[in-house]
Amino acid sequence: MAIVVLLCADKAHSVLKDVVFYDDAVVGSSEQYRYVTVYDSPPETTTIEFYGGGNGLFMNDSSTLNIYQGGWFSWDGQELYAQFKFYDTSTVNVHIGGGFYGGTAAFLYLYDSGTVNVKGGQVDSLLQLDDISTLNLYEGQLSLGFNLLDFSKLNVYGGSIGTFLGNNTVSTTAIVNFYGYGFEYNPEGRERCFENECWWESKLTGYTLDGKPFTYWGIPDPTTHPNIHLIPEPGTVVVLGLGVIAVLRKQRRRKEYGK
C-alpha cells in the first residue's frame, strides 16, 4: 500500500495540496498537487506512475517517477517560478504526452547522480545539470536548451533542442554525446534578436540512428570543444571500415600483378 503524506497548502494555494510519497503509487489524471516530493523507504525504493498534475517536483534517494500521457508539472502563475529538482540517484522518465512546462518561469535542476530520460515528452523549462547528473534525450523536446556544469552528461539520440536568448552552454568538464550520422554544423544557423540585441544561433543537423532527420539549435562548436562528441552510427562505421579494407585489397592486388 502506498504511504502518502498530504500537507495543507497556504491560502494562496488553497485549491491544491502538497503530497509526499514514501512508497509506490499511481497518480491518476484527475489528481493535481502543488508540490510533489518522493523519497524511498529503505531498503525498498519508490516508483511513482504519474498521470496527474503538479506545480513542483522534488525527487530524492533512488526513487523513480514515470510521467505518462497527460501527466505534467508546470508553473501555476502564483509562485515567482516553478522548481523541479532531482537529487541523489533519483530517476525521472518523461514519456510521450507528458512533460515539464512553464517556459522561463520554470527551472529544472539535476544534482548528484540524478537522471532524466526524455522518451517523447517535453521539457519546456530552463534546464541545468550539476555534479555528475545525466540527461538522455531519445525523443521529444528540450525547448529552452541546457546549461551543463561540473561533470554532468547529456546523451542525445533524437528529438529536438532549442535555446533561449543565446546558445546552450557546456562547461569544460561536462560531456555531450550526439549519436547519429551525416552531421553538418553551421555556426550561423539563424539570427535571433531581442531588445535591439542580435546574435547567431548555431545549427547542427543530421540523422538519428534510425534514420530520422534532426535539427539542434544553439550547440557549441564541436571542433573547438573536445568534450562535445559527434558519434556516428555503428553501421556507418562498419561500412567505412569495409570500404577501407576493400581499397587495401585492391591496392595489394595491383602490386601483385604489377598493375
pLDDT at 166: 80
Task: Give 182-188's long-range contacts (Cβ < 8 A, gap of 24+).
Answer: 182/206, 182/207, 183/230, 183/232, 185/219, 185/221, 185/222, 185/223, 187/221
Low-confidence spans in the chain with pLDDT less than 50? 1-13, 236-248, 259
Do 61 and 40 touch, CB atoms closer than 8 A? Answer: yes
Residue with cell 523536446: 141
pLDDT at 208: 95
> Whole-angstrom Cα distance, residue 99 to residue 63?
18
At residue 190, what is the residue type?
A: R
Place of cell 602490386: 255
Q: Taking the domains of the chain in order of start, what are their residue ranges?
A: 4-233
pTM of the model: 0.84
Element (H, E) at 252: helix 234-256
The reported pLDDT for the residue numbered 2 is 47
Quote the CA–CA distance of 201 and 97 in Å, as a whole number: 28
Q: Residue 131: what pLDDT?
A: 98
Q: Tell me, what's the pLDDT at 95?
A: 98
